[in-house]
Amino acid sequence: MKLTKKSHSCVRLEKGGRTLVLDPGGFTEEDAVGGADALLVTHEHPDHFDEGRLRAAMEANPAAEIWTLGSVAEKLSAAFPGRVHTVGHGDAFTAAGFDVQVHGELHAVIHPDLPRITNVGFLVDDGRVFHPGDALTVPEQPVETLLVPVQAPWSKISEVIEYVREVAPQRVYDIHDALLTELARPIYDTHLGNLGGSEHLRLASGASAEL
């Protein structure tokens, strides 16, 4: 499996000549959805969900499909009947040749005064990769590669470190990092690398790794 990091929380997974794209939001390059056979969206916030980009991907490939939660699906289902699938915690499906399980129900708390929205995480190919969206969800099975949201309005580094320790993956790749300046990256790298207990890695946007 080939993993390609795109800006912020978007990643592309390629296997067997097919491409699965997760969370191509508004902070992500327009080409992130190019050639997508399937798309997964964790929640409705615009840094994870860009309706125009999803529509463009679906129009470019009439066989492409989307799996997401209800609040996103309702915006796209009428335009692409039978191709937009609503999923929730405990569901399992196959998308572009990848086996996917859905974990989690709610977005992390931003502030107690703000209502929490739904958020789902996607576990790909029996734990090879887990994308939690905007939550610190711990899957009920081992994870090989954790895509960890390193910086967000709803998190602090101690929580991220404890999350990595609890999941205990073989390796960690940063996501949700568009708001993190280059000056701050060495601080996050040091703390996650020294304290997380897993191999901590970072890919620049457009860079890839073989898993």
**pLDDT tens string for the chain (211 positions)?**
999 999 999 999 999 999 999 999 999 999 999 999 999 999 999 999 999 999 999 999 999 999 999 999 999 999 999 999 999 999 999 999 999 999 999 999 999 999 999 999 999 999 999 999 999 999 999 999 999 999 999 999 999 999 999 999 999 999 999 999 999 999 999 999 999 999 999 999 999 999 9
Residue-level pLDDT at 122: 98
All domains of the chain, ordered by start, with CATH? Answer: 2-210 (3.60.15.10)
Residue-level pLDDT at 164: 98
Q: How far apart are CA 75 and CA 78, in angstroms?
A: 8
Q: How far apart are CA 120 and CA 142, in angstroms?
A: 18
**What pTM did the predictor assign?**
0.97
3-state secondary structure of 114: coil
Q: Count other Cβ atoms within 10 Å, centred on residue 8.
A: 24
Q: Rounded to the nearest 5°, which phi and psi values hold at 49? A: -130, 115
